[in-house]
Structure 1
Amino acid sequence: MTELMLIRHGQTTWNREGRYSGQTDIPLSEEGLRQAQQLAERLQGQSFLAIYSSDLLRAKQTAEPIARATGAPLYFDPRLREINQGEWEGTLFEDIRRRFLDLWQHRLQNPHIAAPPGGETVGQVRERVLEALEEILQAHPKGRVAIVAHGLVLALILIHARDEPLERVWDRIPANAQPQTLHLEAP
């Protein structure tokens, strides 16, 4: 059985402002950099077989100090990127709700088929994330591994592990830089 530590990247300015980040490659805010450093200090000396991270900058800036503090090898995987929010990226959540209420509600209720214009469905993201997760579990059937990624990516792993319906994904998005631990078997 693999012990997985799931870590959402530190805070970004867009997180604080309530904007859709998606795959826009934005850095951590000063607060996010502080969160990443504090987490690395908390994890210093702990043993990980590997750390897998999204290749987006905010995840890298969170994963790199953890890798240095623990001495674990760090691998970047684009399948762990956040959902592509298409035309909604950079837009305030409230503006989207106000301007596209019907599509926004449809997406909440039907995440497997509804997407913002030019973006991905949650179902599409789930396919790539679970493919990456399966490879990680097969590569490390025993021991401890960390995944540093994004809110929706980690929520998808959580609902998969708990055998919850896809519609619950919105309720499972973790806080920035707050690790959660799971135990999973390789398929």
Structure 2
Amino acid sequence: MVTRLYIARHGQSKWNLESRMQGMKDIELTQLGLEQAELLAKRLKGENIDCIYSSDLKRAYTTAEIISKEINAPIVKIEEFREMSFGVWEGLTAKEIEENYQELYDLWKTDPRHVLIENAETLKEVQKRMLTKTKEIVEENWGKNILIVSHGTSIKALILGLLEIDLSFYPSFRMDNASLSIIDIKENKKAVLVLYNDTCHLGERK
């Protein structure tokens, strides 16, 4: 018996559009983000998803609500599935971060394992909370199809952890808005990557 994890990133938010670091700031979806969520929901309609676990931040939870209405599956809010806390970087644009924290930002783009942002989580801490909660949910729902709706950094950290890939490879992975990834958890608890960062369902609405 296999447990299948469907892992979706939220649709475009207002700060995605402005290239601002969101972290745990509670930012709403744009009109495009709402449309992306609708298309993602339609993509998931035939997948027989049993349950949805979503970050409680608006951009993720609104995405989950749209999916829930389409596929008729219940949602549970999970605080552990929030985005990484980026501390003093939150609210800043990528350009502003580069200008004010150039050395640290360069390290974030090359080897984020060792980045310590003021008042922020580390990537390892994010991965630990994501993995711990996901494994708990898998145990509770063994053999089911589970949808997780979360955020770019958190999802990448989770997937790397499930696949036992070192966090040093984090910069080599991309995670788009309203993308879908699928991982099967085998009976021996080994994770198998089935799909990664798929956005075919979005068509031109990227």
Same fold by TM (over 0.5)?
Answer: yes
Stretches of structure 2 lacking an aligned partner (at least 5 in a row):
191-206
Q: Which residue of 1 aligns with 2:14?
A: 13
121-130 or 108-117, which moves further after superposition? 108-117
Would the aligned equivalents of 1:12 and 1:32 in 2 still touch at CA under 8 Å?
A: yes
Q: Report the AA paired with residue 173 of structure 2.
A: R
Q: Which residue of 2 aligns with 1:55?
A: 56
Stretches of structure 1 lacking an aligned partner (at least 5 in a row):
none
158-167 or 117-126, which moves further after superposition? 158-167
Aligned-pair CA distance for 1:44: 2.7
The number of residue pairs the alignment matches comes to: 187
TM-score, normalised by the number of residues in structure 1: 0.93
Q: Report the AA paired with residue 168 of structure 2.
A: E
Would the aligned equivalents of 1:9 and 1:148 in 2 still touch at CA under 8 Å?
A: yes
Would the aligned equivalents of 1:154 and 1:173 in 2 still touch at CA under 8 Å?
A: no
Would the aligned equivalents of 1:7 and 1:149 in 2 still touch at CA under 8 Å?
A: yes
Task: Give the share of equivalent positions with the same residue, in percent.
Answer: 32
Aligned-pair CA distance for 1:108: 4.1
21-30 or 133-142, which moves further after superposition? 133-142
RMSD (CA atoms)? 1.6
Question: Does 2:8 align with 1:38?
Answer: no
Aligned-pair CA distance for 1:110: 4.7
Would the aligned equivalents of 1:22 and 1:85 in 2 still touch at CA under 8 Å?
A: yes
Q: How does 1:73-112 map to 2 (within 5 A)?
A: 73-112=74-113
How far apart in 1 are the matches of 2:112 and 2:175?
18
Would the aligned equivalents of 2:83 and 2:152 in 1 still touch at CA under 8 Å?
A: yes
Would the aligned equivalents of 2:49 and 2:145 in 1 still touch at CA under 8 Å?
A: yes
Would the aligned equivalents of 1:8 and 1:179 in 2 still touch at CA under 8 Å?
A: yes
TM-score, normalised by the number of residues in structure 2: 0.84
Q: Which residue of 1 aligns with 2:202?
A: none
20-29 or 158-167, which moves further after superposition? 158-167
Would the aligned equivalents of 1:11 and 1:29 in 2 still touch at CA under 8 Å?
A: yes
Q: Which runs of 4+ in 1 moved over 4 A?
A: none
